[in-house]
């Protein structure tokens, strides 16, 4: 199990560690979005400044206002936020759902739980109903959206002890995994534990997938997946 220490001295066991930029690349959004969702933001309207609170507090204690570091469960929650927004659900509805889901699931990060996998659609719709806001109630007409997003997003996640334990980020294949218990949650070849970035860099340097496979004692198919995965990250 990986052990790391936060800036305030807190020991973090198997939490995972990602900067806003790293998280943004993995969930295919902008670092600006990640910072806004987990640090909050302000905007001015009619000469009045409005402060928007973060959707939740990061697993990793904040060392300073300029730097955001998040854990694996945060990463999975952000992935759901991005998927819901992409499906046309607004941040207000998502915020209401998070708050209500925390009560139902009894977990500060409800989207990444087994309960949300099975009851997420009902929780989302109940939270909208409870809000009493007309603009949110219109979302009840999009019930299928919630079910589709939940089913699609959980498809490549592994659950243990009622919460998401691992993410298989390359088309759901078992060859590559993101596991907070290994390599601080960085993408690795699942069986060998070699970071995908190391495999991809080695292929670029050696010019041969087969040669890198022999050097790292990793099947060529896994090296090939690692290269494709890293290229997709850079292209995002």
Is 0.95 topped by the overall pTM? no
Instruction: Kindly state whether residue 146 falls inside one of the protein's structural domains.
Output: no
* Cα-Cα-Cα-Cα dihedral sign, residues 155, 161, 162, 163: negative
- The count of structural domains within the chain is 1
pLDDT at res. 3: 44
Strand partners of residue 163: 113, 160
pLDDT at res. 219: 97
Written as six digits, the tokens of 196 are: 């995908």
Instruction: Kindly state whether residue 66 falls inside one of the protein's structural domains.
Output: no
Instruction: Kindly state whether residue 79 falls inside one of the protein's structural domains.
Output: no
What pLDDT tens digit does each residue of the chain (236 aa) get?
344 444 444 445 688 999 999 999 999 999 999 999 999 988 888 888 888 899 999 998 766 667 899 999 999 999 999 999 999 888 988 999 999 999 999 999 999 999 999 999 999 989 988 877 766 667 777 788 889 999 999 999 999 999 999 999 999 999 999 999 999 999 999 999 999 999 999 999 999 999 999 999 999 999 999 999 999 998 86
* Cα-Cα-Cα-Cα dihedral sign, residues 65, 71, 73, 76: positive
Range of the domain at 182: 158-236
Instruction: Kindly state whether residue 235 falls inside one of the protein's structural domains.
Output: yes
Instruction: Kindly state whether residue 175 falls inside one of the protein's structural domains.
Output: yes
Instruction: Kindly state whether residue 118 falls inside one of the protein's structural domains.
Output: no
Cα gap 57→232, rounded to integer Å: 29
pLDDT at res. 129: 83
Q: Which residue, among 129, 172, 176, 127, has the nearest Cα to 151 in the 3D structure? A: 172
Instruction: Kindly state whether residue 213 falls inside one of the protein's structural domains.
Output: yes
pLDDT at res. 1: 37
Instruction: Kindly state whether residue 33 falls inside one of the protein's structural domains.
Output: no
pLDDT at res. 135: 63
Cα gap 73→164, rounded to integer Å: 7
pLDDT at res. 175: 98
């Amino acid at each position: 199990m990986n052990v790391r220490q936060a800036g305030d001295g807190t020991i973090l066991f198997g939490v995972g560690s990602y900067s806003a930029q790293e998280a943004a690349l993995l969930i295919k959004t902008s670092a600006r979005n990640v910072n806004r969702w987990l640090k909050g933001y302000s905007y001015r309207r009619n000469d009045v400044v409005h402060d928007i609170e973060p959707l939740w507090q990061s697993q990793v204690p904040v060392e300073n206002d300029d730097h955001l570091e998040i854990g694996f469960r945060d990463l999975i929650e952000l992935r759901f936020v991005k998927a819901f927004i992409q499906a046309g659900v607004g941040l207000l509805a998502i915020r209401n759902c998070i708050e209500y889901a925390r009560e139902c699931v009894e977990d500060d990060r409800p989207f990444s739980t087994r309960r949300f996998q099975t009851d997420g659609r009902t929780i989302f719709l109940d939270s909208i109903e409870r809000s009493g806001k007309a603009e949110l109630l219109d979302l009840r007409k999009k019930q299928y959206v919630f079910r589709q997003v939940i089913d699609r997003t959980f498809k490549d996640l592994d659950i243990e002890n009622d919460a998401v334990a691992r993410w298989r980020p390359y088309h759901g294949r078992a060859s590559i995994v993101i596991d907070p218990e290994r390599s601080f949650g960085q993408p690795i070849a699942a069986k060998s534990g070699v970071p995908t970035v190391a495999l991809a860099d080695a292929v670029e340097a050696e010019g041969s997938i087969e040669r890198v496979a022999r050097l790292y004692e990793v099947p060529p198919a896994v090296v090939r997946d690692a290269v494709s995965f890293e290229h997709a990250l850079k292209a995002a």
